[in-house]
Amino acid sequence: MIFGEGEMETPPQGLSLSDNALVVLRERYLRRGENGQLEEPAAMLRRVAKAVAEPSRAYGESPDFWAERFLDRMERLEFLPNSPTLMNAGQPGGQLAACFVLPIEDDLDSIFATLALVARIHQTGGGTGFSFSALRPRGDRVRSTGGVSSGPLSFMEVFDYTTSVIRAGGRRRGANMAVLRVDHPDIEEFIEAKRIPTRLQNFNLSVGVTDEFFAAFDSAKPFALRNPRTGQAVASVDPVKLFDMIVESAWATGDPGLLFLDEINRHNP
C-alpha cells in the first residue's frame, strides 16, 4: 500500500509511531515514486530489512531469516539504522554510511576536489567532517599568483554555501564539522565565527587542542601560533585569554567544541 500527496496512513499493527514521527518520515525518509506517491512506513522497514540482510548470503546464511529478525527489531523500535540507511537501502547506488572524514590540503585542487565529494555525499544523506588546519592563514603569500591567501574561514564559507544548495534539493539538510588546530594563526577568527548569526549555519566547529596548549595554559606562558605552510611561529597569544574566548563563544553560540588531538592519538596509535 502507498499513499498520495496530503495523505497520512495509520501505522500498521506492530509498528507504533507518533504523529510527529510520521511527519518526519514523510518529509525526509519515505521513498517517493515517479507518480509522486510515497511508500508507507512498514514498506520502508521491509525495504531496509531486506537490503541489510542480503550480505548474509555470502556467509552461507539465509537473508530471509535475518530480514525477519531485523524487521521485528525495527517494528518494535528496539533498533533503527542511521538516516542514509533508512533513505537509501534497497535503492540503486544507495550508500548507507552517515559520517565521512575528508582530507583538505593547502592547494586549490585538493580543496575543490573535496568540495565535489561533499556535494555527492550530502546528496545521499551523509555528513562530512574536515580539518582546515593545513590551509595557510589569511594574508599569507601565495607564490603561484603573487597574491595573498584569504585563509581557511573563507573556504569554510564556500563549503557552507555548497551545503545550503544541496540541502535545497535534498530531503534533509547537510551537516559539516570543521576542525582548526589551536595553534593556527587564524584561530581567534575561527573561535568567534558564529558570533555572526547567519555565518556557517551548516557547520559545527571544534578547536583541535593539544598537550602543548594546556601546558602553556597551566604555566600561563605565551603560546605560539604557527603557519602550517612553514611550521614557523608567527605570533603568540595568552593561552588563558584564548581559552576564555573559546568558553565565552561556546556559551553564546554553542560553538566551538573541543577536540583533544593528542588524547585521541594516544588511544589510536
Query: Please, what is the Cα angle at 112 between 108 and 117, to 5 degrees?
Result: 150
**Sign of the torsion angle spanned by Cα atoms 94, 98, 103, 104:** positive
pLDDT, tens only, 163-204: 998 865 566 778 999 999 999 999 999 999 999 989 999 999
Burial of 224 (0-12, 13-18, 19+ CB in 10 A): middle
pLDDT, tens only, 64-86: 999 999 999 999 999 999 999 99
3-state secondary structure at position 180: strand
38 strand-pairing partners? 3, 32
pTM: 0.84
pLDDT, tens only, 1-29: 343 444 444 444 557 888 999 998 988 88
DSSP 129: E
Closest CA to 149 of 157, 140, 158, 160: 140
Indicate the domain borders of the chain: 2-88, 99-267
Q: Can you give the pLDDT at residue 93? A: 78
**Of all helices (H) and strands (E), which one includes residue 22?**
helix 19-24
Confidence grade of residue 32 (pLDDT, cut at 50, 70, 90): confident
DSSP 136: P
